[in-house]
Amino acid sequence: MELKRVVVTGLGAITPIGNDVAATWDNAVKGVSGAGPITHFDASLFKTQFGCEVKNFNATEHFDRKEVRKYDLYAQYALVAARQAVADASIDAEGVDHDRVGVIFAAGIGGLHTFEEEAGYYAMHKDQGPKYNPFFIPKMIADIAAGHISMLYGFRGPNFGTVSACASSTNALIDAFNYIRLGMADAIITGGAEAAIYPAGVGGFNSMHALSTRNDSPETASRPFSGSRDGFIMGEGSACLVFEELEHAKARGAKIYAEVVGGGMSADAYHITATHPEGLGAKLVMKNALKDAGLQPADVDYINAHGTSTPVGDLSEVKAIKELWGEDAYKLNISSTKSMTGHLLGATGALEALFCVKAVQTDIVPPTINHADDDLDPEIDYKLNFTFNEAQHRTVNVALSNTFGFGGHNASIIVKKWAE
């Protein structure tokens, strides 16, 4: 069976550094940090009191008041990003067969705020018996964003959510890619959303010592590959991409941002939260993605690293890249855009894939910010080009995005510059 080719025809984003794709990409290229004090709740007693929140978001500007009550914040972000991407691709246009358009949308956690509210309400009133909001379950579950997007547009193709911790939305993209190239859909709206900057999210990750505690300098706290890195910053928001079968896109005159050429998956099979210290799963997932794309390591120009700014995770990813690429590793640009956006958990893979699409479209590699020349890790090879502090202009024909999740879930996706 000959596999169909898949291209990207629409983009949408609402992130800590911009409420649309243009602003998000512009700020990423400029190296703008999205970090600041937490405003969603009083975090003054928490070890970490900052995060990368979406700014200037008012739900009533996007939804009527009845809808707002039905949607958890993560689903609101998903719908905003999806509306942007669908409009950008014009995939809801007359003549598009809605039976052949699907939605595969991820969340690593889902409606955490809704769960917290309902649990708190029950704890306060448990002596009166259970009194739960009828929207509790449909607001909370991690698949509901995909459902809402499909219902908004009447897209009746494949429809589900993926959950694999921080790899969730990369897995969603890979599923979308596979469904289209197997001929099971003409287009799929895919991506991820997350909104977990609430007490349970921050407190839970604090208890694991996973978050940075640089409360005196939030903007510089995420410093991937630097010697003093001490944990990730939690981010929130959503990114959405429209994947479309090539001939379908060409027939309707759609603009094409990039081609999706491969996806890989693997498991660390090592630890519930820590990456394998030698990067075995990371190496395998990139190897699998390259094989799927029919590419060699030397063909890749840019890697958007998982790069969370954790001591173990960053080092293991660097080891994996060096081992798989060999001497060609020194020809790569590598960067961690989490230094600016924070870690969007289940939405991070979609956002970083979007950055890869923009990199191959514009020939600009966004930076890894917050690095100082004297802040070095003796185990990291700084002859590698981590694109520290400033974006770099170079030809980017092929870009690879890595995402690794708790449970040892690894996923990588590869995009290529579009050419007839």
Tokens representing 303 are 């890697």
Residues sharing a CB contact under 8 Å with residue 42, sequence separation 6 or more, in sequence order: none
Determine the Cα–Cα distance for residues 414 and 397; give it in Å rounded to an integer. Answer: 11
Which of 40, 113, 343, 409 is catalytic? The answer is 343
Place of tokens 């008041």: 65
Tokens of 348: 């991070």
Alpha-carbon span 364 to 382, nearest angstrom? 21
Q: What is the CA radius of gyration of the chain?
A: 20
Residue 332 CA, chain-centre distance (Å), reads 21
Catalytic residue from among 40, 148, 248, 306: 306
| Catalytic hit among 52, 166, 240, 356 | 166
CA distance 199 to 331: 43
- Beta pairing partners, 303: 334, 400
DSSP bridge pairs for 238: 14, 193
Angle, CA 161 vertex, CA 159 and CA 163 arms, to 5°: 160
No. of helices (H) and no. of strands (E), the chain: 13, 14
Nearest to 305 by CA among 262, 336, 346: 336
Does 248 qualify as catalytic in the annotation?
no
What DSSP state is assigned to residue 242? E
Measured in residues, the chain has a length of 420
The CA distances from residue 168 to 68, 125, 175, 338, in Å, are 25, 35, 11, 16
C-beta atoms surrounding 246 within 10 Å = 19
Distance, CA of 203 to CA of 48 (rounded, Å) = 8
User: Who's near 327: CB < 8 A, 6+ residues apart?
Assistant: none
Q: Alpha-carbon dihedral of residues 272, 274, 276, 277, nearest 10 degrees?
A: -150
Residue 376, Cβ density class (10 Å: 0-12 exposed, 13-18 middle, ≥19 buried) = middle
Catalytic residues: 166, 306, 343
